[in-house]
Amino acid sequence: MWSIRTTATKPTSKTPFFFVYGAEAALASELKHGSVRVLAFDEAHQDGSWEADLLLFEEACRQAALCTASYQQALHRDICPRTLEVGDLVLCGIPSREGLNKLSPMWEGPFRVAHVSRPGTARLETEDGDPVPNAWNI
Number of separate helices (H) and strands (E) present in the chain? 6, 4
- Per the structure, the count of domains in the chain is 2
| Confidence (pLDDT) at 40 | 73
Of 94, 133, 136, 93, residue with least CA distance to 113 = 136
Q: Does residue 109 sit within a domain?
A: yes
Q: Judge whether 92 and 124 are in contact, CB under 8 Å.
A: yes
Do 63 and 12 lie in one domain? The reply is yes
| Confidence (pLDDT) at 67 | 84
Of 3, 30, 37, 29, residue with least CA distance to 17 = 3
- State pTM to two decimals: 0.44
Do 53 and 14 lie in one domain? The reply is yes
Do 67 and 95 lie in one domain? The reply is no
Do 7 and 73 lie in one domain? The reply is yes
Do 43 and 69 lie in one domain? The reply is yes
Of 88, 25, 83, 21, residue with least CA distance to 54 = 21
Dihedrals phi, psi of 67, to nearest 5 degrees? -65, -40
Domain extent at residue 6: 2-77
Tens digit of each residue's pLDDT (9 = 90 or more) over 61-120: 888 888 888 888 887 777 777 788 899 999 988 878 788 888 888 888 899 999 998 888
Do 110 and 59 lie in one domain? The reply is no
Tens digit of each residue's pLDDT (9 = 90 or more) over 26-76: 777 777 888 887 777 777 777 667 677 777 888 888 888 888 888 888 877
Alpha carbons 2 and 24: distance in angstroms, whole number? 12
